[in-house]
Structure 1
Amino acid sequence: MKKVLYIWLVRFFAAWWGKKEPTLVVYLMSFGNNNEFIVKLGQKCSREGKQLVVLFYPSCSGAANDLAAAGIKTVSFTEGLHFLFSGLRFVVAAKLLFCDNYYAFLAGCQFKRQKTRVVQVWHANGAVKSFGWQEPKTQLRSAAAQKRFQAVYDQFDDYVIASPKMGEIFSESYDVDKKKMLTLGYPRSDKFLRAEWITQKRRRFYQVNPALKGKEVILYAPTYRESTTGVTLELPEDFFQLVGRLASNQVLIIKLHPHLKNISQLIRTRLAKSKQVLWMDDFTTEDLLPVTDRLITDYSSVAFDYTLLDNAQEILFYCYDLHEYQNQVGLQHDFEQWLPGPLVLTTAELAQTLKKPLLRQDFRQFNQLWNTRNDGQATARIIKHYFG
């Protein structure tokens, strides 16, 4: 009932704020991983005499501060009553609205359809998990909730994607027309193909960690699991013995999802005595990818980024809870067919795989499927498409 009332209030305030002609370019930010695109977007807006406003979740404060330093107007927001009196006015004043996620309040927005274009620039480059109508939990929700979900999906005029494969998933998951899919490439992928960015990340990493030169860097970057009390990550007990099986020239960097801060501390405590396990708080996952020799992940989208890099050698999919995750969260039905590396179901199997010599895997087929238009020019194409 509360959500129904909230959407009704959004509809009322959106109509109030929306009396003027839309003129702004607005970016809704829930992930702080697309700053380079936003800066280029801001520069284009300045040249065109338009104003860009970035509305960001508090979790993206760091990225927002960098944007503000670049001269871009930023406004913090969380969905709730305060948003109705503050942030919503920017949203309904948008002539061009970029969204990096699903935003529930969009169900109540009454855009002037001939004057406002709503664009989905998804925060991930591909999909292992299911979402939308393909997510098992969605089918268990009430008819009213399902109606709200579809109202949000239908708000998007365009879905910016990198591959026909992702277009098929969006079309099926959100029950929207395939004609809405624009295969322009993901702007946040451009940096992974830019030599200057890669060199800068490697230089900084080895300046801070000179002892790691010549070491085999293994990055473990799992996603979180949802539970009745929030998000969690329950690693198998024998995972904590894995570090004792690493070769002397190997180091394991563990980089958990930002939602797992509390869990991170517990795992650190368990592994505190191991000199081969490193925690690098001053580096993001993206910062670490250019120095990673072996990537261990699970259902995270990090694999879609890693395979774009020239140093990408091996990916292991450590899915110790595969069947449970598949039933509760859901996975793409064909994911085992296109995984660009071995599916590892036990810690023992993972340890055995890490003992094998590092051999470069061939990611060409995977990239043709998922990174079709991720060629380093996505930002330029998107800006040209919307600004000419």
Structure 2
Amino acid sequence: MSRLREWIIDRAKKHHFLLKLIRKIRFIRNRMRSLFYSFLRINENLIIFESYMGRQYSDSPKALYLELLDNTRFKFVWVFKNPDIHKVGKNTIKVKYGSKEYYKYYARAKYWITNSRLNEAIVKRKGQVYIQCWHGTPLKRLGYDIKKTNNAMNTLDDIKKKYSDDSKRYDYMISPSRYCTNIFKSAFNLKDNVIIKETGYPRNDSLFKYSKNDIKCIKKKFKISSKKKIILYAPTWRDNQHASGIGYTYKFGIDLDVLKKYLSKDYVILFRTHYFVNNKIDLEKYKDFIIDVSEYEDINDLYIISDYLITDYSSVMFDYANLKKPIIYYMYDYDEYRGEIRDFYFDLKDLPGPIIRAEDKKKLCEIIQKYNFDKYKVKYERFNKKFNYLDSDSSSKKVVKECILDAKNKTNY
């Protein structure tokens, strides 16, 4: 059955009207499931959480959940693609993404908390409160702000509709800066009745609370020697890299053999793909040098233990900047990305670190070995002042207080 499904979807991609038909049929089926449970009474003390469309137990939804966990007034539901692999706290039910229970609990929960777009088939009812945390400060254009696309699965109109359909249900959207607030308004086509809370990202609270012992314990978990410096390599996904039956894929733009030759003596690389990427990358050849941490849920742990970040166009750069540690921008496909895939919201010259815009096998190694942080200190301060000035150790408390505990919620539906 799965092979037949893959074959149908592969053919549908080549004929866009077929893909739209399949999506329409799926939407109608799921909308009927949601409507079936819409007669159930809303539980005023039930909160449902979802992170990265059920892929993880992480990010701002997790931070808010942990902030609320000791409040005996509430009961909680977590949505997962694979509920069996996740451990959650007390008074918490786990449900499988897309199951009957999934639609039932979305119908019953007073509060919805997520960090990505929610299943469009779910019906939001009067009295329910949708808190959208989003999963990062954008460098690359989003939603309505995208002017051109090579997306393998969606046209520009498809993208705009997905963002608009989701944002119509929002009551609150969480923002870490005025910069983000302005972008969210345009990219999500937000209406005036959506309340944007500029509180900082709850997920970044832990970046202001960790201890030396936390670092020691996390390194021990990965069996990393205290003598080694740690590089976190976290690139984003490419809209145009997609494989039938797999989904979005990632192709290395870095020559791993060169990195191993020049860096393996003193460094370890933690490699983390974007959550959209589904292909497995064989790193067996580099097992003593590169650790694949793509399945490790709490990226903040990786930020905390690493000495450097290498990224490209990913929003991880903004979160990592809170730690005031070196960032290197390896944009080997810059011309293609900006010209054919996505444009950016601001000039890259403002980034607080060196930028490599073409494949250069040795330049990256040289920059890592000779990195001069003082050279980028002023840019770093400007960067954090613009993008991260609201991040702190108490954003979770602010969101819970302002959106749940003290809020007089007049909901959108």
Cα shift readout 1:138-187 (whole Å, capped 9, x = no counterpart): 99738577545422221112111111111112111111136631101211
Q: Could you tell me which residue of structure 1 aligns to residue 49 of structure 2? A: 27
Q: Could you tell me which residue of structure 2 aligns to residue 40 of structure 1? A: 67
Q: In structure 2, what is the Cα distance between the partners aligned to 1:289 and 1:142? A: 34
Larger helix fraction of residues: 1
Q: Percent identity?
A: 20
235, 238, 263: which one aligns with 1:225: 238
Cα shift readout 1:199-226 (whole Å, capped 9, x = no counterpart): 3431114546787334432222223334
Q: Could you tell me which residue of structure 2 aligns to residue 155 of structure 1? A: 169
TM-score of the superposed pair, with normalisation by structure 1: 0.82
RMSD: 3.0
TM-score of the superposed pair, with normalisation by structure 2: 0.77
1:232 CA displacement: 2.4
Contact 1:256 1:264 in 2 (8 A): no
Is 1:183 aligned to residue 233 of structure 2?
Answer: no
Contact 2:117 2:163 in 1 (8 A): no
1:384 CA displacement: 0.8
Contact 1:161 1:184 in 2 (8 A): yes
1:342 CA displacement: 1.7
Unaligned ranges ≥5, structure 2: 1-20, 407-413
Is 1:105 aligned to residue 120 of structure 2?
Answer: yes
Is 1:129 aligned to residue 102 of structure 2?
Answer: no
1:316 CA displacement: 0.3
1:374 CA displacement: 0.8
1:103 CA displacement: 1.9
**Which residue identity is paired with 2:242?**
T
Q: Could you tell me which residue of structure 2 aligns to residue 66 of structure 1? A: 87
Is 1:387 aligned to residue 399 of structure 2?
Answer: no
1:318 CA displacement: 0.3
1:11 CA displacement: 3.8
1:169-248 equivalence runs, <5 A: 169-177=183-191, 180-195=195-210, 198-207=211-220, 212-226=225-239, 227-229=241-243, 230-236=247-253, 238-246=255-263, 248=265
- What secondary structure, in the 3-state scheme, does the structure 2 residue paired with 1:182 have? strand
Q: Could you tell me which residue of structure 1 aligns to residue 81 of structure 2? A: 57
1:216-295 equivalence runs, <5 A: 216-226=229-239, 227-229=241-243, 230-236=247-253, 238-246=255-263, 248-257=265-274, 262-265=279-282, 267-269=283-285, 271=286, 277-279=289-291, 281=293, 285-295=299-309
Distance 1:232-1:380 versus aligned 2 partners, 3 A rule: same
Distance 1:174-1:278 versus aligned 2 partners, 3 A rule: same
Matched positions, count: 363
Q: In structure 1, what is the Cα distance between the partners aligned to 2:250 and 2:180? A: 27
Unaligned ranges ≥5, structure 1: none
Cα shift readout 1:108-130 (whole Å, capped 9, x = no counterpart): 51421xx1111101123x11232
Is 1:352 aligned to residue 366 of structure 2?
Answer: yes
- What secondary structure, in the 3-state scheme, does the structure 1 residue paired with 2:173 have? strand
Is 1:94 aligned to residue 118 of structure 2?
Answer: no
Distance 1:213-1:109 versus aligned 2 partners, 3 A rule: same
1:39 CA displacement: 2.3
1:257 CA displacement: 4.0
Distance 1:53-1:209 versus aligned 2 partners, 3 A rule: closer
